Amino acid sequence: MSLTLADANRIIAGAFAKASEFDIKISCAVVDAGGRLLAFQRMEDATWASAYGSQGKAIASVAFGQTSGALGKRAADPIMTGIAAAEGGHMIMSLGGVPIIRDGRPIGACGVGGGTGEEDQECSQAGIACL
């Protein structure tokens, strides 16, 4: 089963709701199983850099089927840098990206940028919980 645009929009709405609780401005990206952007939104007054951060975290998360923060410790390993380079250098291996798992397989991911790493992570998790 694949991720739909309606699913992605629900995820973004949930992430934005959590960001409002934290009183932060974020960008949220949802990617499909291949790491390609399915939906993206940036809250008014969110930094422009958060747009890139959210997408990079989502791409890293779905590529490895785990949170992007869990990848941070291995980010400098040759295999990780090689995969990231081959992918085009878009992966960001820090807190904020969460895979969307169905039937034990990643079908996409949510990435958030704009808050602290912990806030971004919680916003992504809150968005995915809306599915």
**Buried b / exposed e across 91-130, counting CB within 10 Å, b at 16+?**
bbbbbbbbbbeeeeebbbbbbbbbbebebbbbbbbbbbeb
Torsions phi, psi for 34 (to 5 deg): -90, 5
Q: In 23-116, where does DSSP find H-type helix?
A: 49-64, 68-71, 78-87
The CATH number linked to 25 is 3.30.450.150
Per the structure, the complete domain to which residue 11 belongs is given by 5-128
Beta carbons of 65 and 109 less than 8 angstroms apart: no
pLDDT (tens digit, 0 to 9) for every residue of the chain, 131 residues total? 799 999 999 999 999 999 999 999 999 999 999 999 999 999 999 999 999 999 999 999 999 999 999 998 888 899 999 999 998 989 999 999 999 999 999 999 999 999 999 999 999 999 999 99
Q: What domain count does the chain have?
A: 1
Number of Cβ atoms within 10 Å of the Cβ of 79: 8
pTM (predicted TM-score): 0.95
Contacts of 53 (CB under 8 A, 6+ apart): 27, 92, 96, 111, 113, 114, 120
